[in-house]
Structure 1
Amino acid sequence: MARAYGGPEVLSVIDAPVPDPGPGEVRIAVRAAGVNPIDHKLYSGAFGTDPAKVPMRLGSEAAGVVTAVGAAATGPAGPVAVGDEVIAYPAAGAYAAELVVPASSVLPKPAALSWEQAGGLMVVGVTAVHVLEAVGLGKDEVVLIHGAAGGVGLLAVQLAVARGATVLGTASPAKHDLLRDLGAIPIAYGPGLADRVREAAPEGVHAAADLVGTDEAVDVSLELVADRSRIASIAAFARGAGAGIKLLGGGPGADPGTEVRAAARPQLTEAAEAGRLRILVAGTYPLRDAADAHRQSLTGHTTGKIVLVP
């Protein structure tokens, strides 16, 4: 929980009673909860500092075991029962040992995934799907993905390759082998990026996904993609609106993509169960060390997801 607005030092763990689930709700014993950039932004003041919103519970995705169900507890895959291993998203306050969520948020956990992988799948997965849908990426097209080795980027690369697209992914050289393994053409960011992209894709780039929010990502996307409606960003909120590109997610003026993201959930669990998605976990932390998890996340150099384990 964030006691106030500020940095990771404002985070602490508290003891609080967990209610019984009401009609259409389930209670979950959390085994893992994903850490996402939006969590820090909420208590950092990036989206405002309304004093009425603190203290605030954090987290929006979790994986765990159902321990109680309310009446008519039916999720997207059918009735939910005690003992079911599930993924919950959206799940407000997911940084917890126990959690009550609407049954509509609950899907079966793919047996192929560890708890940590399952707890970190949904936010990055639905965001990646939303980005690719927003830019209208199709088969045999070329897409430039900025931040391809981050949490969202790794899923976006795999999903774009599965669509039959050619994927150019920016990352530091240390992560290029991983991107090649996932089917992308890795490109180092930094000065000369636009020229390196042109060399890799001499016939041009159809769409771009900015997952980092840097000026470089925005500038290069605008330079290389003729149709600005085929550029989307989940981070460049300050520049994006003026540049005429699509802003996605929870930032100011962004399209939350609620329906697209909800529809993506069963697609992601199915793909993960079938082994078509690799979910990389960059690190795990005990729930009591959530502040340290956020400090690692804020470095911006993780490969995959950071996960809290109660």
Structure 2
Amino acid sequence: MTGGRLEDAFTDERLRAGARAALRALDGAVTAVEPIPLGNRKRTAVARFEMRGPVVVQVCTESTWLRTEATLLSLIRDRTGVPVPPVLGAGEHDGVAYLLTAYVAGDDLHERFTAVDPDVRTLLARSFGSYLAQLHDAFAFDGYGRLETPGAFSPPGDVLSPAHEDWADWFREYGLRAVDRLPAAFDPLRSELRGLFDDRPIEGRPQARLYPWDFRPGNALVADDRVTAVLDWEAPLAAPVSLSVAKAEFLVADWYVNEPAPLRAAFRTGYERVRPYPDVPTAHRVAAIAESAVDSAGRVTNPRYPELDREGAVAFHRDALEAALAGTDDRDR
């Protein structure tokens, strides 16, 4: 590891040892290790070498998360045209899981999305719609909720198993959890929001498909006006396509611009080139918006770029929820 700055990228010694073990499997001396922010549950860095291209190393103390992500990335590359990095290796060292993927060049689309030409932004939104439709075509499940790959590393498995069999129980819990973690500023809406999940029967057993819950420009790289990689596939879920579409459409279109209708239309066009666009019940749209409003650490998320401050972000999420409840978000224009 001579010349690398592993201690800067991974300040925890256990994580550092896991990264060291991962990188030992690759040929060549590491010349630098640069931390990059990616996800709340894992630590990620780019390792650069003298004689080979850079690689991305991720480490985490929960082996299930990275084992599942390694499996999902490999299956996405096998089954779809969605651009994801190739998996170079995955394993575990002294209780720390690691995942190695090829480094993909590109700019952070979160920073670029509002700056590109509007026609390019439309094409990018259309790409996201097409990618999501491909994922829905390629992955079907007989249950709902968190997907995991059972077993151990070496090699990663090829099975993704959902955690819940009952749709009503899982969706009610999912929706209420999203609503209940909203801060006090949302109290005037809370009773009506909870009523969508508490007071109304949740019927049927819809077909579950892959639900990449953080599928957004902020987790993508772009170069030459095209997406080069979609990143951060941790903790995937299985859910009906209507929930997945509601979440992705919100994060691709509404999140970034004041007039989201054209981007929504582009997203829908991209999706419909692969499969029919689903109807989205109000409860699914509300759950998607509420779940987007607060991150896993309990912080209100900040839409737009440059990002809104907390007061502006709260107003943004509250307006989106009010429009979804009222059915007045001009979605079909």
Q: Higher Cα Rg: structure 1 or 2?
A: 2
- Structure with higher RCO (Cα < 8 A, 6+ apart): 1
TM over 0.5: no
The two structures have a TM-score, normalised by structure 1, of 0.26
* Structure (1/2) with the larger helix percentage: 2
